[in-house]
Amino acid sequence: DFLRHAAEQFGFVPRRPPSELDFKRAYAEAAINALLTREQVVGIYVLETGGDGAHDTQAGFPGPERPAISPALGYNQLLSTTTIGLVAEHGERLREILADRAQGLHGEAEQETQQRIAALERMVDFSRSVPFQWGEHDRLAKTTAGGMGIHAVLLDVDLGPWLQARILAGSVRYARNQGFGGTLTPAELQLLNLTGPANGADMVMMPPELRQQVPTANFFQRAGYERNPIAQRTEVVSGLIDHIEERMRHGAQAQGAQRLAAVFDEVRAAGRQR
C-alpha cells in the first residue's frame, strides 16, 4: 500500500537497495554522520526488529496469516505520522541528498534520480499542506492516500537511512537540551524512541529511586500501552529499562545485529582513513 500510493499520488518509486547489507551500510554512514554510537544504533535495531529485521520490516513482523499491528516501518520502526513530519521539516535536505547522488550519473540512472527528485518535491509540498502539528500529520497519514504514500521514502536507500538516523539524533539532542549530560545508553535512547522525546527524557532523567516507584503506564497513551508487549510486562520504569537492556543483550547475537555492528565499524574506519 505504501509503494502503490507513493507511485499513484506522487510518481515516487524508491530506489531499493541491491542487498540488505547495502541498506545497513547506508544506515551506518547516516548514523555516524549524525554522531550516533554503534551501541545505540545496534541496540535500537535489535529492539525494533528483533535483531534480524530487514529495511522493510513492519510492526508485528507480519506474514500471510498475521497482519501488521501499525504502520511502523524500518530499522527504527517509524510511524507514518512521524515520516510526514520529517519530510515536511527536512524537505530541502532530502532534495540535496538526491541531487548529490545525481552528480556524475548519466542516462537511465540520471533520469531515474531526477524523477525521484521531482516526486519528492511533490511529497514535500503535500506534507506542508497542513500546519506543522502532530494531529494534522496524523490525519494525513491515516486518512489520505498521499499520507500513506509518503511513508515509502523509508524504503529508499538514499533517503530512508538519513531519516531514521535523523529521528534518533533528534532524540539525543532533545535530551541534551533538557539537561542530560553524557551519552545516552542504547536503552535510554530507546525510551525516547519508544515513548517520544518528552516522555523518554522524563524517564531518563528520573532519580533511580523514583524509577523503582513510578508506573510504566504513566508514559504511554492507553492504546499504545495495550499493544506494546514490552511495556505491559513491566510495572515500573526501572523494570522497563531492565527489560529493554536484556532484550538488547540477547538480540545483539542475531545475525542481522552482528552484521550491522560490523558494517558500522567498517564505515567508521574508512572515514577515519580518509
Q: What is the pLDDT of residue 195?
A: 85
Write the pLDDT tens digit of every residue in 237-270: 998 899 999 999 999 999 999 999 999 999 999 9
Report the pLDDT averaged over residues 87-103: 96
Q: Which helix H or strand E contains 271, and what residues bound it?
A: helix 255-273
Per-residue model confidence as pLDDT tens digits over 226-235? 767 777 778 8
Average pLDDT, whole number, for the chain? Answer: 92
Strand blocks (E) in the chain: none
| CA neighbor of 47 nearest in space, from 168, 216, 219, 172 | 168
Mean pLDDT in residue range 98-120: 92
Quick one: pLDDT at residue 193? 86
Angle between helices 160-177 and 20-33 (to 10 degrees): 30
Q: Fill in the amino acid letter for 19.
A: S
Residue with the larger pLDDT of the pair 191 and 137: 137
Mean pLDDT score, 215-235: 76
Q: Cα(88)–Cα(57) distance, rounded to whole angstroms?
A: 23
CA distance 170 to 128: 20
> How confident is the model at residue 196, as a pLDDT?
86
What's the DSSP call for residue 67?
-
Please state the rounded mean pLDDT for residues 50-73: 82
Q: State the DSSP string of 157-179.
A: TTTHHHHHHHHHHHHHHHHHHTT
Q: Which amino acid is at 41?
A: V
Residue 215 has pLDDT above 90, yes or no: no
Query: Quick one: what percent of the chain has pLDDT higher than 70?
Result: 97
What angle, 0 to 180 degrees and rounded to 10, lies between the N-to-C axes of helices 237-251 and 197-204?
Answer: 100
- How far apart, in whole angstroms, are the C-alpha atoms of residue 134 and residue 131? 9
Mean pLDDT of 1-11: 97
All three cell numbers of 78 = 517509524
pLDDT level of residue 225 (50, 70, 90 thresholds): confident
If pLDDT is split at 50, 70 and 90, which confidence band does 64 have?
low
